[in-house]
Amino acid sequence: MMQFLWRYIDELVGKGLSIDVVAELFFYAALSMVPLALPLSILLASLMTFGDLGEHIELTALKSAGISLTTIMKPLAILITLVAIGAFFFQNNVLPQSQVKMWTLLFSMRQTSPTLDIPEGAVYSQIPGYNIFVKRNDKERDMLYNLLIYDVSRSTLYPRIVTADSGSLSMTEDKRHLVLKLYKGAWYEQMSGANGVKGLSSDMYRRETFHDKEILIPYDANFTRMDDEAMRSQYVGKNITELQQSIDSISCKVDSAATLILEHIRRQPICGVQQERVVINDGKSTVEPVKEVKLDKPVDINELLKSLSESEQQHLINQAIMRSTTQMQDMQFQGYTINDDNYIMRRHEIELLKKFTLSLACLIFFFIGAPLGAIVRKGGLGMPVVISVILFIIYYIIDNMGYKLARDGRWVVWQGIWLSSAVLLPLGIFLTKKAVNDSAVFNPDVWLNFLRRFTGLHQTRKLAAKEVIINEVETAEALTRINQLRTSCQQFLDTYPSRQGYIEYWQQGMNKATVKALAEQVDSVVDYLSNSRDQMVLNKAMDYPVIRQLLTYYPCQNKNIGTVLAALFPIGLPVWLVGMRHQQNLKRDVRLTIKTCDQLVAIFNGEYNREMEYNDTIIKTND
């Protein structure tokens, strides 16, 4: 509403409009903004509702009772469907009438004359045909002092000039004329035909001095409402039936115009030879094509031109240029007419499709806001407002871009109008699916782990002593698991003793199952040792590195596809270099795992001492 106000502020301010007229304009403008406000309100309301349910653990309670999220959303989905149906009828029946009323009022306001407020020390030109300069304006007495008036109502070349010591300005009761009362002044006028006096020389002047004088100036200050019929014929004032009829009529008009242009082009003579001729038989005229003239030998145009004189050649060339220019301009003019008709038809098609886009936008924003609120679990006006505004700005930008592409004919109309729905519909389906399956879409740890798989970021372990331990750590079981882990790590190092070559890396890489099994075995040992009451065991268990499962360990498990990727040498080379760096880091982590296993075995056997701790620190520093 504020954007609408500042956009049309010039048509509203200074016109003396009554408050009921301005309120009526804003009411119709508010109705025209429903297609923008309704989807945003549904998005915000669904976000706040389900965010509040999630924040107060009510969604968890409902799910624990066996009620799925789809069952929870079902009543609101039915309600939004009814709202979407109502939005369709609003777009088809109410909005066209409000648009007609709004634009009729706005155009009527533009034609309304502004209220008189003559400033001091400036030329006032809001009165048609008069320019008034006032040195001082006494608003308490309603008097004007030191006036200079230029009357250009008849001609700007021969103005009437009036000066006065003082004066007052008032309006007649019907508000159709201004009464200008002047005191102690002079009237200067050039006596010429331009001022309505014929037969006088243009160098003759007329001067009149007066004590008091009244000048009656035509000035209609009334607000006159235009007829609505002018706007009802525009595309904004039509419903679906009327839009379809207009599109059909415009389409027929464009097709007939194109057919006439094509027939006109076909009938144009080629090199002076007519393509068709009129034959009259028994008083009836028929159009028949001219039979093709067969030549014994080709005609040499250059030889024909050379046989003419220079003046005849120049005349012939100028005549050809003139004819071609005339035909080109004629075709361009007819093309402009067809382009205008196509533009009007596109506007009608856009308005027709907009009757349906609002209803679909309501449904899409509900299935975006409700699952998103269930995932974010934040109610109130904080996070939901931020998310709603961001999503709606994206929707508005895409929708406006598609609208302009369709309006200018760069895209097919239905592609541009449905662009925003086509972009946001997959987002709604994705969020609904994730919310129903309780997927951690906005869990930072999930995205961080996903990022680590590509970048190889290092990850550390953190263990703390447990207050209550159910399964105590047994020394024999711990030593068995640790030794098994050490054996697996040594087998892995024996399997990959050296750096892989370029072809070997792309065709084989490291075995994915082996790396995954090794990582799970390390995690299993750490989980078992986390139940220990010995702080030294806990501290040493944290030294186990996290065996990451990066994609660069095994870029391709299919040998044939790997061979193809290896052939892309300029692209595959940097990937191979990164993979070698990550594989080297993996082997370092495996060696560190073996060292940690040896130290834990020494701790459980009571053979661990400070010297081993010092040597372990040196090994870590070197690694």
User: What is the average per-residue pLDDT within 81-91?
Assistant: 93
Q: Considering Cα of 564, then 566, then 570, then 571, what sign does the dihedral take?
A: positive
Is the pLDDT higher at 439 or at 81?
81
pTM: 0.58
379: alpha, beta or left? (left if phi > 0; alpha if psi -120 to 50)? beta
Residue with the bigger pLDDT between 363 and 550: it is 363
pLDDT, position 356: 92
Amino acid letter for position 584: Q
Q: Tell me: the pLDDT tens digits for 521-533?
A: 998 998 888 888 8
More confident residue, 614 or 430: 430
pLDDT tops 70 at residue 319:
yes
Q: What is the mean pLDDT of residues 580-586?
A: 87
* pLDDT score of 620 more than 60: no
Amino acid at 448: L
Q: Which of 162, 145, 195, 133 is nearest to 125 (CA)?
A: 133
Q: For position 576, what pLDDT does the model report?
A: 83
Is residue 131's pLDDT more than 80? yes
Q: What is the pLDDT of residue 194?
A: 47
CB-based contacts of 131: which residues, under 8 Å, 6+ apart?
Answer: 123, 124, 125, 149, 150, 152
Q: To the nearest whole percent, how much of the chain has pLDDT over 90?
A: 15
Which of these, 603, 600, 605, 598, lies nearest to 487 by C-alpha position?
598
Q: In this structure, which amino acid lies at residue 344?
A: I
Average pLDDT over residues 43-56: 89
- Identify the three-state secondary structure at position 77: helix
pLDDT in tens, 363-408: 999 999 998 888 888 877 777 888 888 888 898 899 999 999 999 8
CB 418 within 8 A of CB 399: no
Average pLDDT of the chain? 81
pLDDT (mean) for 398-425: 91
pLDDT of residue 260: 77
Which amino acid belongs to residue 50?
A: F
> Around 269, how many Cα atoms within 13 Å sit in the side-chain half-sphere?
7
212-240 pLDDT, tens per residue?
A: 888 887 766 555 666 777 677 788 888 89
Is residue 195 pLDDT above 60, yes or no? no
Answer whether residue 198 shows pLDDT above 70. no
Q: Give the C-alpha separation, 73 to 49, whole Å.
A: 11
| pLDDT given for residue 77 in this prediction | 93
Q: Which residues pair with 288 in a beta bridge?
A: 277
Confidence of residue 128 (pLDDT cuts 50, 70, 90): confident
Q: What pLDDT is recorded for position 156?
A: 61
> What is the predicted pLDDT for the residue at 197?
52
506: pLDDT strictly greater than 80: yes
Band of pLDDT at residue 535, cut at 50, 70 and 90: confident
* Size (the chain), residues: 623
Of 150-154, 453-457, 574-578, 605-609, which has the strongest mean pLDDT? 574-578
Angle at 510 between CA 509 and CA 512, to 5 degrees: 115
pLDDT digits (tens, 9 = 90+) for 241-281: 988 998 898 888 888 877 877 777 777 777 667 777 777 77
- Quick: pLDDT tens for 551-572: 788 887 777 777 777 777 677 7
Buried b / exposed e along 515-551 (16+ C-beta atoms within 10 A): beebbebbeebbebbbbbeeeebbebbbbbbebbbbe
Confidence of residue 175 (pLDDT cuts 50, 70, 90): low
Q: Which amino acid is at 332?
A: Q
- Beta partners for 137? 144
Region of 377 (left: φ > 0; alpha: ψ -120 to 50; beta: rest) is left
Q: Is 542 left (phi over 0), alpha (psi -120 to 50) or beta?
A: alpha
Query: pLDDT: is 552 or 597 the higher one?
Result: 597
Average pLDDT over residues 575-598: 88
- Residue 374, Cβ density class (10 Å: 0-12 exposed, 13-18 middle, ≥19 buried): buried
* Model pLDDT, residue 4: 72
Which of 119-123, 175-179, 194-198, 380-384 reaches the highest mean pLDDT?
Answer: 119-123
pLDDT at 115 over 70: no
Average pLDDT over residues 72-94: 92
